[in-house]
Amino acid sequence: MANFRVVQSDSDLKPYAAFRVARIDGQKAQTFKAFYEQMARELKFPDYFEFNLESLDELLNDLDWLDDDKIALYITHSDAFLSQEKNEARKVELLNVLDVAAEDWKWVDEEEEGVTPRELVILFQPGDAFTALLDKEDFAYDRAV
């Protein structure tokens, strides 16, 4: 199953009832700064979060401050998401960080000492620009089930 999944509306979130859903409103996350602020608030990032891609990557691959073992990042208004950022390469880099973090969590062994296995998925409302970027960069995505 792909790490990115399309959800048409909140009613498509029913299969994720057991997940901690971090809602990222694309209309309020049109810049990286605003996105990082929403992520920090929604996932209660520790104070050492540096509001940059490296720090985001580090925290998404840790998550030990959360009690939840299933986390869904839910991007609404996806066409507005990062729409004020003109550097497409940075957007792709962010999508890579999200995709790799979600994929890496699939391979955490329950027997690894000191690491709690997690599940991370990225849900998004469909939007032409967002979907086109995923397609152009060959990111796999599924319809939520």
- Residue 144 pLDDT level (bands cut at 50, 70, 90): low
Q: DSSP readout, 4-35?
A: EEE-SSGGGGGGGTTSEEEEEETTT-SSHHHH
Per residue in 75-91, pLDDT (tens digit) is 999 999 999 999 999 99
121 touches 16 (CB < 8 A): yes
Q: Pairing mode, if any, of strands 20-25 and 141-143?
A: unpaired
CATH no., domain 4-143: 3.30.370.10
Query: What are residue 70's DSSP bridge partners?
Result: 119
Q: What is the pTM of this model?
A: 0.92
- What is the residue whose two structure tokens read 């929403």? 38
Q: Give the closest residue to 1 by CA, choosing from 116, 120, 111.
A: 120
How many DSSP H helices and E strands does the chain contain? 4, 5
- Domain ranges in the chain? 4-143
Q: Average of pLDDT values for 25-37? A: 98
